[in-house]
Amino acid sequence: MVSQKITINNPQGLHMRPAGVFAKGVAQYQSDVNIVFNGKTTNGKSLLNIIGACIKCGSEIEIQCDGPDEEEALAKAIELIESGLGE
Amino acid sequence: MYNGIGASAGIGIGSVVIVKEPNLDYQRVTIKDASAEESRFQAALNATIAKTQAMAEDMRKRVGEKEAEILEGHMLLLMDPEMTGQIVNSIKENLMNAEAAVEQTCNMYRDMFASLDDEMFQQRATDVNDIKTRLLKDLLGVEEVDLGNLPENTILVAEDLTPSMTASLNAENVAGILTEIGGRTSHSAILARALEIPAVLSIPDITNKVAGGDKVVLDGDKGVVYVNPDDSVVAEYTEKRRVFLEEKAALQKFVGKPTETADGHRVELCANIGKPEDAKKVVECDGEGIGLFRTEFLFMDRPQVPTEDEQFDAYKTVAETLGADKPVIIRTLDVGGDKEIPYLNLPKEENPFLGYRAVRLCLNREEDIYRPQLRALLRASAFGDIRIMVPMITCVDELRRVKQILSELMTELDAKEIPYNKDIKVGIMVETPASMIMADAFAAEADFFSIGTNDLTGYTMCADRGNPDVAYLYSAYNPAVIRSIERTIKLGKEGGAIVGMCGEAAADPLLAPLLLAFGMDEFSVSATSILTTRKVISLWTMEEAKAVAEKALTFVTEAEVKAYLESVAKK
């Protein structure tokens, strides 16, 4: 498993649009992509669960990827967040 | 008469059509053939996704990109692996029928969203309910209500206006919208405003208080609804609607026009914003710049001070949205003991408005608050005409200290070869009697003034507008406030400063002739007031405005000033 911490900078946090961009972006990988926030683990491929985690602007989250293409999945996840998730 | 939240301006007059969700009752049964039931669910899911996609495309054509995105979000929700996985699991493991499995899973997500502590996130519960209803309709083969074929002048009454209802809605025949739930940021409100349909939301039990065919009059500004009113009320509101529509159409003529008086005296007309994304609205409403960008939001609802980079991004976004030739005045942090920012650890004060706030706080917290903000502003100034405004100034030393810090930061940036605007304008908010009295001294050292009439009125009259016992004193028509404004503009201009105003008074049509006559250079108002303000300014000649100002300055009571300005106001 590989993981990395990152801060969410979207002004309104991970609401529907940015969360959708994230879930869609990591769906193509075989590895599990999880978001750990406030001690809870959320399936990063599930838009509903990301919204349910209520991740607001300025929150630090950890991305954990586990599976055959975990390195690529993690790199993609970080790239998506750093580029502002389409906002 | 009923009251609700006025969510979309305008007057609606028409007959009620109640839209209730269709009957989606079903039996909970234990199924025998799980794989057949799973196929039935998959077929319904595919049908729902296909219909949602068609609605999204239709919405994009008829309403707009932003509204279509809501439905595209629904498609992502419908394809969510966790949700579909859970539904399929309930069918296979618990032998639930598809309807019961859909309902149980969707309700779980709906309740989860509804319990979140943020309105934006809570609103997603509506989206989940909406996709649940559509999935159930497809499973049960229930026909959709035909909203594309409503009679003329329909007042649509619903518990809530779901995005899918709005998508199929033929808005042309809808004269108004009433709902039981939803706030100003709900889908119903956003869509009603986009479609320019007057709407009043959050009226308890309205679907049971009116019947189909009832005559309704609603005011989407004030949030008032009359059911089967007297002819006199209908006549009154018919006239109000005529005036509203006429004014709205007339305002469109001012798009793309310069802001000038009838005799061609130009002024600048900018807008106030609170968030970077508001800048788009300013461009849409034809604002000529940003006269006040409050930076407090960047510091609120978060665990620590925003980083310099976060701030830089926000400031740069606004500058780039407006374009390099448009001024963007950004006010540095304006908080104090009356605003909750836990990580700043501000002490509770007896008199927060006379206490440790705004520039006083920033100059005492240079390292963790002020320098990062000023550095972010300087860096962002490479991307547009950013100007720095310092709030709550009372003495010249404060301005000098801010300029000293800025020059130190510029040296730092030069050493690192980071670009910024070397001629960045630095100004002050004139909102204290002290800065008004010392306006000549400030004008010699500030590039611009922006008169903050909200605080200036409060500090001049020593009255808190939130306190009903003294609120009567809180009025910008007080001669003391009017004279303060006149003095600030006069001394500011004599000293070579650009003088603007970002308080509510800037958008007050009664005060427009005075501000023009005093020689104000820039008006900064809310985005929605831009065209109205441009129109009001166009109605006056400078000669007329000067005559009104001269007379207004002779009165010594608030009531006299107000009555006089009302008597000469132009429509």
Among all residues of chain B, which has the CA nearest to that of A57?
B302
CA distance B312 to chain A (A): 12
The per-residue pLDDT for A16 is: 84
**% of chain B surpassing 90 pLDDT:** 67
Band of pLDDT at residue B185, cut at 50, 70 and 90: low
Token pair of B250, please?
A: 């007339």
Residues B510 and B385 in one domain: yes
The per-residue pLDDT for B352 is: 86
Q: At which of B115, B140, B165 does a domain end?
A: B140
User: Contact A52/B76, CB-based, under 8 Å?
Assistant: no
Q: Which of B170, B218, B164 is nearest to B187 (CA)?
A: B164
Backbone φ and ψ of B447, nearest 5°: -75, -30
Give mean pLDDT, residues A47-73: 91
Backbone φ and ψ of B420, nearest 5°: -160, 170
Residues B189 and B74 in one domain: no
Give mean pLDDT, residues B435-445: 98
Q: Which range among B24-28, B117-121, B302-306, B355-359 shows the weakest confidence by mean pLDDT? A: B117-121
CA distance B185 to chain A (A): 13
Residues B182 and B293 in one domain: no
pLDDT over 70 at B143, yes or no: no
Q: What CATH number is associated with residue B350?
A: 3.20.20.60
Band of pLDDT at residue B397, cut at 50, 70 and 90: very high
Residues B122 and B182 in one domain: no
pLDDT in tens, B268-316: 999 999 888 889 989 989 999 999 999 988 998 788 899 999 999 999 9
Within a domain: residue B2?
no
- Chain A residues with beta carbon closer than 8 angstroms to that of B125: none
Backbone φ and ψ of A18, nearest 5°: -65, -35
- Chain B residues with beta carbon closer than 8 angstroms to that of A23: 76, 80
Q: Please give the tally of structural domains in chain B.
A: 3
- The letter for the amino acid at B111 is D
**Which residues in B414-434 are b (16+ Cβ under 10 Å) and which e?**
eeeeeebbeebbbbbbbbbee
Supply the residues of A annotated as catalytic: 15
Helix (H) or strand (E) holding B8: strand B5-8
Within a domain: residue B13?
no
Domain ranges, ordered by start, for chain A: 2-82
pLDDT over 80 at B339, yes or no: no
Residues B257 and B356 in one domain: yes
Residues B91 and B193 in one domain: no
- Chain B residues with beta carbon closer than 8 angstroms to that of A47: 73, 76-77, 80
Q: Would you tell me how many other CB atoms lie within 10 Å of the CB of residue B466?
A: 9
Within a domain: residue B37?
yes
Band of pLDDT at residue B120, cut at 50, 70 and 90: confident
Give mean pLDDT, residues B467-487: 94
Task: Give the residue numbers spanning the domain of B131.
Answer: 23-140
Q: How far is CA B35 from the centre of its chain?
A: 50
pLDDT in tens, B496-543: 999 999 988 999 999 999 999 999 999 999 888 899 999 999 999 999
Residues B261 and B241 in one domain: no
Q: Which CATH number fits domain A2-82: 3.40.50.880, 3.40.190.10, 3.30.1340.10, 3.30.70.20?
A: 3.30.1340.10
CA distances from B78 to B56, B128, B221, B353 (A): 14, 9, 36, 51
Q: What CATH number is associated with residue B152?
A: 3.50.30.10
Token pair of B451, please?
A: 């008169």
pLDDT over 80 at B21, yes or no: no
- The letter for the amino acid at B333 is L
Band of pLDDT at residue B217, cut at 50, 70 and 90: very high
Residues B244 and B302 in one domain: no
> Which residues from A are below 8 Å from B when comparing CB atoms?
9, 11-13, 15-17, 20, 23-24, 27, 43, 45-49, 51-52, 54, 56-59
Within a domain: residue B369?
yes
- The Cα–Cα gap between B81 and A43 comes to 9
Looking from the CA of B53 toward its CB, the CA atoms found within 13 Å total 9
pLDDT over 80 at B203, yes or no: yes
Within a domain: residue B8?
no
Mean pLDDT for all residues in chain A: 91
- Note if B502 is an active site residue: yes
Q: What CATH number is associated with residue B131?
A: 1.10.274.10
- Which of A8, A16, A43, A49 to substitute to test the interface with B, most B CBs within 10 Å? A16
Helix, strand, or coil here: B293?
strand
- The letter for the amino acid at B63 is V
CA distances from B17 to B62, B78, B190 (A): 22, 30, 21
Give mean pLDDT, residues B143-157: 81
For chains A and B, what is the number of CB pairs under 8 angstroms?
Answer: 68
pTM: 0.62
Supply the ipTM of this predicted assembly.
0.84
The per-residue pLDDT for B146 is: 67
B314 and A CB contact within 8 Å:
yes
Largest CA distance in chain A: 34
Residues B196 and B320 in one domain: no
Q: Which residue has the tokens 């509101």?
A: B237
C-alpha torsion A63→A64→A70→A75, nearest 10 = 20
pLDDT over 80 at A87, yes or no: no
- The Cα–Cα gap between B130 and B161 comes to 10
pLDDT in tens, B356-388: 999 999 999 999 999 999 999 999 999 999 999
Q: Would you tell me how many other CB atoms lie within 10 Å of the CB of residue B483?
A: 13
- The Cα–Cα gap between A12 and B172 comes to 33
Mean pLDDT for all residues in chain B: 91
Top-confidence residue, B526 or B465: B526
User: Across the interface, which of B120, B306, B310 has its CB nearest the CB of A12?
Assistant: B120
C-alpha torsion B385→B390→B395→B396, nearest 10 = -30
Within a domain: residue B6?
no
pLDDT over 90 at B334, yes or no: yes
Do B502 and B450 form a contact (C-beta atoms < 8 A)?
yes
Q: Which range among B36-40, B225-229, B387-391, B467-471 shows the weakest confidence by mean pLDDT? A: B467-471
The per-residue pLDDT for B337 is: 63
Residues B418 and B391 in one domain: yes
User: By CB neighbour count within 10 A (0-12 exposed, 13-18 middle, 19+ buried), where does B45 fall?
Assistant: buried
The per-residue pLDDT for B346 is: 85
pLDDT in tens, B41-72: 999 999 999 988 988 888 888 777 777 888 88
Which strands make up the sheet holding A40-43, listed edge to edge? A2-7, A60-66, A32-37, A40-43
Residues B34 and B111 in one domain: yes
Residues B324 and B341 in one domain: yes
The per-residue pLDDT for B171 is: 80
